[in-house]
Structure 1
Amino acid sequence: MQTEKVVNHIVDWLKDYATKARVNGFVIGISGGIDSAVTSTLCAKTGLDLLCIEMPIHQAASHVTRAQEHIAQLKRRFPNVSDTRVDLTPVFEEFKTEVSLDGKQATVDMALANTRARLRMTTLYYHAGLLGLLVAGTGNKVEDFGVGFYTKYGDGGVDLSPIADLLKSEVYEIGKYLEVPESIIKAAPSDGLFGDARSDEDQIGASYPELEWAMQMKDEGKTADDFTGRKHEVFKIFMGYNSRNQHKMVPIPICEIPKILR
């Protein structure tokens, strides 16, 4: 990958899109992970306004520390960067008092995890509306179009997706080029939706390098029967997520009314 040229291409694309949309810049949620760090740095490089928002909900201390380190670095490097912190923990806890928590614990836990992401999306759009900003998404290609590892109308609810055509390995390459803090480069990827330090790999059952491989194999028309051992297992994991999450990757289905019924 021609890293410098890719960076310049994304920055130019962001600036052109914002200019045509007649907005002041971007707002982005900072999680302490590589995707939000890279996306926010790319947005900052446009020279347009960038508002970075921390939105903790019972967040793991390591995530908070990395997020704050990254925001501090961005503000030192770019005069167009500002930040704010919105503690959504009380909002989340109040929400829980108003809904039923009956059901299988795993199902309830997942529903609440997705609720965290949707509360953050609402917060981002509130600030975007106040300040005339676009909500910049942080999803990469493997998450958005491979396994669908994001929350529909949560972190998937954005105005534009600067890094959605980049594999996770490419995001890391760009992160190093952009001098993202080493603590973020070294941290295990995590969505941070459960209030602990569990990683994406813990949840999915495969690492991002493995998922990238499986995504390539799918594109080449391979099936699980073409592999044995760990490769067979990883391919089945990938295809399971890819199949179950197609509803996130395709446009919302519309019931079209036949002309004969009009």
Structure 2
Amino acid sequence: MDVPKVIDHIVNWLKDYAENAKVNGFVIGVSGGIDSAVTSTLCAKTGLSVMCLEMPIYQAPNQVSRALNHIDWLQNNFSNVSMTQVNLTPVFDSLIKALPPVKNEDDRFMALANTRARLRMTSLYYFAGFHGLLVAGTGNKVEDFGVGFFTKYGDGGVDLSPIADLMKSEVYEIAKYLGINKEIIVADPTDGLWGDDRTDEDQIGASYDELEWAMQMQDAGKKVTDFSGRKQEVYKIYTRLNRINQHKMIPIPVCEIPSGIKK
């Protein structure tokens, strides 16, 4: 990958899109992870207004510190970057109190994890509407089009996706070239939705390098029976997640009414 040319292409694409949409710039949630760090930096390089939101909900302290350190780095390098902290923990607590109890707490736990992402999306769109900004997504290709590892109408609710055609390994290449803080580059990827230290690999059961391999194998038309051992296990994980999460990756189904009965 020609990293400088890829960076220039994304930055020009972002700038052209924003100018054609007649908006002032971008708003982005900065989590302390590699994807949001790279995306926010690419947005900053457009020269347009960039608002970084840090939105903790019972967030691990190291995630918060990485996010704040990155925003500080951005502001030291780009005069067009501003930041706002929105503590969503009280909002999350109030919502939990308003919801009825359930018998299966495991199902509730998963639903509430996704609710965190949707509260953040709501906050991003509040500031986007107030300041005339576009919500920039942070999903990479494996997450968005491989295993569907994002929350529908949460971190998947965005106006545009600058890095969604990049594999996770390519995001790391760009991060190193841009000079992103080392603490972000070496941190284990996590969605930060659980209030603990579980990583993406803990949840998925495979690393991003393994998932990239599986995505390439699927594109090549390979079957599960073509592999054995760990490779077969990874390919099963990938193909299962790719299948069950298709509802996140395809347009919303619309019930089209036949013209003969719609009068």
TM-score, normalised via structure 1 length: 0.99
Give 1:21's aligned amino acid. A
Answer yes or no: is 1:109 the counterpart of 2:118.
no
In the TM superposition, residue 100 of structure 1 has moved relative to its aligned partner by 2.0
Name 1:78's counterpart in structure 2. Answer: 78
In the TM superposition, residue 151 of structure 1 has moved relative to its aligned partner by 0.2
In the TM superposition, residue 104 of structure 1 has moved relative to its aligned partner by 1.9
Name 1:223's counterpart in structure 2. Answer: 223
Tell me, in whole angstroms, the C-alpha distance in 2 between the residues paired with 1:101 and 1:236.
35
Name 2:8's counterpart in structure 1. Answer: 8
Tell me, in whole angstroms, the C-alpha distance in 1 between the residues paired with 2:216 and 2:260.
44
- The percentage of counterpart residues that share the same residue type is 67
Tell me, in whole angstroms, the C-alpha distance in 2 between the residues paired with 1:207 and 1:104.
29
In the TM superposition, residue 101 of structure 1 has moved relative to its aligned partner by 3.2
In the TM superposition, residue 105 of structure 1 has moved relative to its aligned partner by 2.2
Name 1:18's counterpart in structure 2. Answer: 18
Tell me, in whole angstroms, the C-alpha distance in 2 between the residues paired with 1:52 and 1:101.
35
Give the secondary-structure state (helix, strand or coil) at the position aligned to 2:260.
helix
Name 2:190's counterpart in structure 1. Answer: 190
Name 1:87's counterpart in structure 2. Answer: 87
Answer yes or no: is 1:35 the counterpart of 2:65.
no
Task: Give the aligned length.
Answer: 262
Give 1:12's aligned amino acid. N
Tell me, in whole angstroms, the C-alpha distance in 2 between the residues paired with 1:213 and 1:62.
30
- The one-character-per-residue Cα deviations of 1:168-191 (angstroms, maximum 9, x if unpaired) are 000000000111100000000000
Tell me, in whole angstroms, the C-alpha distance in 2 between the residues paired with 1:114 and 1:26.
23
- The one-character-per-residue Cα deviations of 1:5-49 (angstroms, maximum 9, x if unpaired) are 000000000000000000000000000000000000000000000
Tell me, in whole angstroms, the C-alpha distance in 2 between the residues paired with 1:75 and 1:97.
38
Tell me, in whole angstroms, the C-alpha distance in 2 between the residues paired with 1:158 and 1:86.
18
Tell me, in whole angstroms, the C-alpha distance in 2 between the residues paired with 1:244 and 1:123.
28
Name 2:214's counterpart in structure 1. Answer: 214
Give 1:194's aligned amino acid. W
**Unpaired segments ≥5 residues, structure 2:** none
Answer yes or no: is 1:236 the counterpart of 2:239.
no
Tell me, in whole angstroms, the C-alpha distance in 2 between the residues paired with 1:66 and 1:259.
56
Name 1:99's counterpart in structure 2. Answer: 99
In the TM superposition, residue 196 of structure 1 has moved relative to its aligned partner by 1.0
In the TM superposition, residue 129 of structure 1 has moved relative to its aligned partner by 0.4
Name 1:56's counterpart in structure 2. Answer: 56
Give the secondary-structure state (helix, strand or coil) at the position aligned to 1:83.
strand
Answer yes or no: is 1:149 the counterpart of 2:116.
no
C-alpha RMSD of matched pairs (Å): 0.5
Name 2:130's counterpart in structure 1. Answer: 130
Name 1:66's counterpart in structure 2. Answer: 66
Consecutive aligned runs of 4 or more in structure 1 exceeding 4 Å deviation: none
Give the secondary-structure state (helix, strand or coil) at the position aligned to 1:259.
coil
In the TM superposition, residue 259 of structure 1 has moved relative to its aligned partner by 1.4
TM-score, normalised via structure 2 length: 0.99
Tell me, in whole angstroms, the C-alpha distance in 1 between the residues paired with 2:220 and 2:85.
45
In the TM superposition, residue 106 of structure 1 has moved relative to its aligned partner by 1.9
In the TM superposition, residue 260 of structure 1 has moved relative to its aligned partner by 1.5
Give 1:222's aligned amino acid. K
**Unpaired segments ≥5 residues, structure 1:** none
Tell me, in whole angstroms, the C-alpha distance in 1 between the residues paired with 2:98 and 2:105.
17
Equivalences for residues 237-256 of structure 1 within 5 A = 237-256=237-256
Give the secondary-structure state (helix, strand or coil) at the position aligned to 2:118.
helix
Give the secondary-structure state (helix, strand or coil) at the position aligned to 2:83.
strand
Give 1:93's aligned amino acid. D
